[in-house]
């Protein structure tokens, strides 16, 4: 017996005696026939999967006139051996209507119905009467997208106001099924809207005893909180701790940051990567000094207007430092809310982030803004974790979590597939002469703009080609010491690097020549190049 399939169907809680009987019949057939019940040739009948499609406002449904049933109805089809019933419902909905943007309202089964199928002709062949044990899911699709017929199965695919279904559907026995599914979808959607408010009490009660002690949580100084939030972007907490302490020791306030020479600033940031973060940090510091006399602005709009500060950072500083009821929505918060509300929308869609932000803003408490912001961050970082199973057993929201109830927590959040990262091959030169290494400044625009680099060229060179390039630079190479291979991954590009170590007899002026102490303390080499030297 297929355990996962059986568990999913057994989890369905019937609302009527007929549904209870249909579910028990289906579970009995699964125990008897196993996965054969997913196939069309199972004599006892077979499992089909339907997706009832509503618009996001739940007022319109997308249906098609089916040639077999000679009536307007929902989308769906045979499982054909596939135990992923929700996946089948989504696949059939896309195939039968040509919609591309569509997602489940929930991963839970909305209805199980034993439906008799009369004898009919399909593709010129006679099909005997049989039973469909139909599993229904609720699906959501925006109405503003193209639809098309599937000529071998249906025609007249169209959106209908839900109140017009009865006038278009000639299968009278299906109308009560459609009515109950619409009612259940609306009830589920309404329940989702109550969860942001409902989560406040258990989440705020959980946080004091379970949060991590982090240095930036020991202060409400907006400068220090701001620096930590910028550092934590794209960087792990443990990696940030040391940088945070060193940075604040060197630059303890906004005036020190504004006045810091660029070389020293980049050196303090060396290894954290994404160097535009620290450049924007200094631009904002200078704006705070010039425009606000060195006092950090105290309204969300003013904070949001500073260079390098987006909605999340502005929300974090506003709530953590000034007690403003402004949420800070990042990947952690989006993941928590996606699971809590069992939201299958793409969390990388800016409209989804804006909607989650608005939902939270509507329930943010005046008195506990800072704690709620920290609690949402903390539960996402330590309990409702990414890239693996959430720790539901220790989650204060488990009784409310709709994904937990539906068994879909591992399916969420939904993130659209990223564009494949481009790969470049580069030959990187470690040119040494008299105990000094050749470095040079990168261009002022583009990747690693204005940072120091080891000389490099595109592509992998042979030893002979490498010596030729070095000679053209005027460095008078003597011999190759070694050739190593390294890889560095940026957000959108991967560098496959070949490091060529060359002893040279000349130091051309096109390069800056630095000794080991200067490389360690004066010149900031990005990790992409330091990994060659190390």
* CA atoms in the 13 A half-sphere facing the CB of 271: 14
Q: Is residue 209 part of a domain?
A: yes
Contact (CB, 8 A) for 523 and 514: yes
171 is an active site residue = no
Q: What is the CATH number of the domain that holds 71?
A: 3.90.79.10
| Residue 139 and residue 67 share a domain | yes
Q: What is the CATH number of the domain that holds 404?
A: 1.10.340.30
Q: Is residue 512 part of a domain?
A: yes
Cα 405 from Cα 453, distance rounded (Å): 53
Q: Across the strands, what pairs with 426? A: 458, 497
Domain boundary among 411, 430, 452: 411
Residue the block writes with tokens 């949580």:
217
Domain boundary among 144, 164, 192: 192
Query: H/E element holding 487?
Result: strand 477-489
Sign of CA dihedral 99, 100, 105, 106: positive
Domain boundary among 162, 192, 222: 192
| Residue 438 and residue 403 share a domain | no
| Residue 205 and residue 143 share a domain | no
Annotated catalytic residue within 8, 229, 342, 378: 229
pLDDT of residue 110: 94
What are the distances in angstroms from CA 73 to CA 61, 65, 168, 200? 10, 6, 9, 41
Contact (CB, 8 A) for 346 and 414: yes
Q: How many CB atoms lie within 10 A of CB 295?
A: 11
pLDDT of residue 77: 87
Q: Is residue 217 part of a domain?
A: yes
| Residue 309 and residue 186 share a domain | no
Per-residue confidence in pLDDT tens, the chain, 534 aa: 568 888 888 888 888 899 899 999 988 988 988 888 888 888 888 899 999 999 999 999 999 988 777 889 999 988 888 889 999 999 999 999 999 999 999 999 999 998 887 776 666 677 677 888 899 999 999 998 999 888 877 888 999 999 999 999 988 999 999 999 999 999 999 999 999 999 999 999 999 999 999 999 999 999 999 999 999 998 889 999 999 999 999 999 999 999 999 889 999 998 888 888 999 999 999 999 999 999 999 999 999 999 999 999 999 999 999 999 999 999 999 999 999 999 999 999 999 999 999 999 999 998 889 999 999 999 999 999 988 889 999 999 999 999 999 999 999 999 987 667 889 999 999 999 999 999 999 988 888 888 899 999 999 999 999 999 999 999 999 989 999 999 998 878 999 999 999 999 999 999 999 998 888 888 878 888 989 987
Report yes or no on whether pTM surpasses 0.75. Answer: yes
| Residue 81 and residue 130 share a domain | yes
Cα 99 from Cα 251, distance rounded (Å): 54
| Residue 431 and residue 352 share a domain | no
Q: Is residue 90 part of a domain?
A: yes
Q: Across the strands, what pairs with 424? A: 495
Cα 145 from Cα 14, distance rounded (Å): 34
Tally the domains of the chain. Answer: 3
Q: Is residue 416 part of a domain?
A: no
| Residue 236 and residue 141 share a domain | no
Domain with 403 in it: 201-411
With b for 16 or more beta-carbon neighbours within 10 A and e for fewer, the 181-204 pattern comes to bbebbbebbeebeebbeebbebbb
Q: Is residue 417 part of a domain?
A: no
| Residue 151 and residue 271 share a domain | no
| Residue 206 and residue 349 share a domain | yes
| Residue 274 and residue 167 share a domain | no
What are the distances in angstroms from CA 93 to CA 106, 152, 314? 15, 15, 41
| Residue 480 and residue 379 share a domain | no
| Residue 223 and residue 279 share a domain | yes
């Amino acid at each position: 017996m297929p355990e996962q399939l059986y568990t999913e169907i057994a989890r369905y809680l019937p609302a009527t005696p007929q549904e209870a009987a249909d579910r028990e019949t289906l579970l009995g057939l699964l125990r008897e026939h196993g996965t054969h019940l997913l196939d069309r040739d199972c004599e006892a009948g077979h499992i089909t999967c339907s997706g009832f499609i509503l618009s996001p406002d739940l007022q319109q449904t997308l249906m098609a006139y089916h040639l077999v049933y000679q009536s307007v109805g929902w989308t769906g089809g045979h499982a054909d051996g596939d135990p992923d019933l929700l996946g089948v419902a989504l696949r059939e909905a896309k195939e039968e209507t040509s919609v591309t943007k569509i997602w489940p309202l929930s991963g839970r089964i909305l209805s199980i119905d034993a439906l008799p199928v009369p004898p009919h002709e399909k593709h010129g062949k006679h099909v005997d009467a049989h039973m469909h044990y139909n599993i229904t899911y609720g699906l959501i699709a925006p109405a503003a997208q193209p639809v098309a017929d599937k000529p071998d199965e249906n025609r007249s695919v169209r959106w209908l106001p839900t109140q017009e279904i009865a006038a278009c559907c000639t299968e009278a026995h299906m109308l009560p099924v459609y009515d109950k599914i619409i009612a259940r979808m609306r009830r589920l959607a309404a329940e989702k809207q109550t969860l942001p408010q409902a989560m406040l009490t258990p989440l705020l009660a959980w946080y004091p005893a379970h949060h991590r002690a982090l240095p930036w949580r020991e202060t409400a100084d907006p400068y220090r909180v701001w620096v930590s939030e910028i550092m934590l972007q794209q960087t792990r907490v443990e990696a940030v701790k040391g940088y945070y302490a060193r940075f604040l020791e060197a630059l303890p306030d906004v005036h020190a940051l504004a006045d810091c020479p660029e070389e020293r600033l980049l050196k303090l940031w060396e290894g954290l990567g994404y160097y535009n973060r620290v450049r924007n940090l200094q631009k904002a510091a200078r704006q705070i000094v010039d425009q606000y006399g060195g006092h950090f602005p105290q309204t969300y709009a003013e904070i949001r207007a500073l260079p390098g500060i987006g909605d999340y950072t502005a929300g974090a500083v506003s709530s953590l430092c000034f007690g403003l009821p402004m949420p800070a929505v990042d990947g952690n918060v989006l993941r928590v809310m996606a699971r809590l509300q069992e939201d299958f929308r793409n969390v990388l869609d800016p409209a989804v982030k804006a909607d989650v932000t608005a939902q939270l803003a509507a329930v943010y408490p005046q008195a506990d803004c800072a704690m709620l912001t920290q609690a949402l961050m903390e539960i996402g970082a330590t309990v409702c974790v990414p890239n693996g199973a959430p720790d539901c057993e220790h989650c204060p929201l488990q009784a409310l979590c709709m994904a937990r109830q539906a068994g879909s927590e591992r399916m969420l959040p939904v993130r659209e597939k990223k564009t494949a990262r481009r790969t470049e091959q580069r030959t990187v030169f470690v040119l040494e002469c008299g105990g000094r290494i050749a470095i040079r400044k990168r261009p002022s625009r583009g990747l690693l703009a204005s940072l120091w680099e080891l000389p490099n060229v595109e592509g992998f060179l042979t030893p002979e080609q490498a010596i030729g390039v070095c000679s053209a630079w005027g460095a008078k190479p003597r011999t190759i010491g070694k050739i190593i291979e390294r890889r560095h991954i940026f957000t959108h590009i991967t560098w496959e690097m070949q490091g060529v170590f060359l002893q040279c007899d000349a130091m051309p002026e096109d390069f800056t020549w630095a000794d080991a102490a200067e490389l360690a303390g004066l010149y900031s080499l990005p990790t992409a190049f330091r990994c060659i030297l190390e």
